[in-house]
């Protein structure tokens, strides 16, 4: 005797069970991809701002430090139209970003984990190199995930910074 089993609807049931898992994975991959894209754009913008600052500072007729700082901030801040908000851009001469203020006019510095600056003509760096003028550039962008379930990247700041020699 043959038993007949009706398999109608099994595929629909399997799809109903698997579809939310697949959708969740796709949303997470989309958010992570967007975060990686924005981080790459921030890195590129900081590099372009540093390149501008370095070339402008080493030209035969360099613009004022205020102009270099303003233009570097413009380059770094105009990262992409992919941003849903405005990135926070900071630029300081002869100072790490965390210090928050420029050093005295005409000072030369030695960058590193701890900066040392002086206006003295006999000032040298601890490693024996010559002190110079530097521009510290930092860009920060608070990333908001498109899908609220991505707690790993919600509220994270995408950041990059660089120190560019001007002389």
Q: How far is residue 51's CA from residue 6's CA, in Å, rounded to a whole number?
A: 70
Domain count, the chain: 1
Q: Report the Cα 52 to chain-centroid distance in Å.
A: 17
Are the beta carbons of 106 and 150 closer than 8 angstroms? no
Grade residue 51 by pLDDT with cuts at 50, 70 and 90.
Answer: confident
Q: What is the pTM of this model?
A: 0.71
- Determine, yes or no, domain membership for 2: no
Exposed, middle or buried, 133 (CB in 10 Å: 0-12/13-18/19+)? buried
- Residue 153's domain spans which residues? 10-165
Domain contains 5: no
Asked if 107 and 121 touch (Cβ cutoff 8 Å), the reply is: no
Q: Indicate whether 13 pLDDT > 80.
A: yes
Strands (E), 22-113: 88-93, 108-110
Predicted local distance difference test score (pLDDT) of residue 61: 75
Cα three-residue angle 101-47-88, rounded to 5 degrees:
50
pLDDT at residue 76 above 60?
yes
In a domain? residue 45: yes
């Amino acid at each position: 005797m043959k038993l007949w089993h009706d398999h109608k609807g099994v595929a629909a049931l399997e799809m109903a069970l698997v579809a939310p898992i697949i959708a969740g994975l796709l949303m997470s991959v989309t958010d992570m991809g967007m975060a990686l894209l924005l981080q790459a754009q921030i890195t590129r913008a900081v590099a372009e701002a540093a390149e501008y600052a370095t070339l402008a500072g080493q030209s035969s007729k360099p613009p004022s430090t205020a102009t270099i700082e303003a233009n570097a901030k413009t380059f770094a801040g105009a990262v992409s139209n992919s941003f849903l908000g405005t990135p926070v851009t900071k630029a300081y001469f002869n100072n790490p970003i965390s210090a928050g203020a420029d050093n005295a006019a005409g000072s030369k510095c030695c960058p590193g984990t701890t900066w040392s600056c002086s206006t003295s003509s006999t000032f040298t760096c601890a490693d024996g190199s010559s002190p110079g003028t530097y521009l510290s550039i930092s860009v920060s962008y608070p990333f908001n995930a498109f899908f609220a379930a991505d707690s790993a990247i919600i509220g994270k700041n995408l950041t990059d910074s660089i120190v560019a020699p001007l002389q």
